[in-house]
Structure 1
């Protein structure tokens, strides 16, 4: 079974509280806009680590390329 944007969306949503989440991709390369209050006070690498934790082993096994834009609700809203 190939990975879809919808699957990645559900993986992130189940593992990380998000106020906004979009995932796009072609089955191999994906991009995500992730807005979460959990990102407050965290550096970009720490934000990405939270997303990787939500994805777990899927990041190595199913998802080959994922570019992320990680924002707090305040950063997203403006």
Structure 2
């Protein structure tokens, strides 16, 4: 079963993040707040695709659901 901390490490390994919070306690359903400068100038779907790319095949195999808030550093500062 996957832990929130493991999921956090998977995202960090594939995407440079200024801030990252991951929650979830059942091992398959998670929520995340991902703040990355890589999101600058990108639409929401493109931001999510960057996170999914960082997770690779784990999205199909280990993670059933991932709810995300994807923000640039400026958006995070103003939130």
Q: TM > 0.5 between the two? A: yes
SS in 2 for 1:17: coil
Structure 1 outlier segments of 4+, above 4 Å: none
Matched, 1:28 2:28: yes
Aligned equivalents of 1:3, 1:59: Cα separation in 2: 11
Look up the match of 1:39: 39
Could you tell me how far 1:16 is from its partner in structure 2? 0.2
Aligned equivalents of 2:73, 2:15: Cα separation in 1: 14
TM-score relative to the length of structure 1: 0.97
Q: How many residues align?
A: 77
Aligned equivalents of 2:77, 2:23: Cα separation in 1: 21
Aligned equivalents of 1:23, 1:45: Cα separation in 2: 19
Gaps of 5+ in 2: none
CA RMSD of aligned residues (A): 0.5
Look up the match of 1:16: 15
Look up the match of 1:56: 56
SS in 1 for 2:6: helix
Gaps of 5+ in 1: none
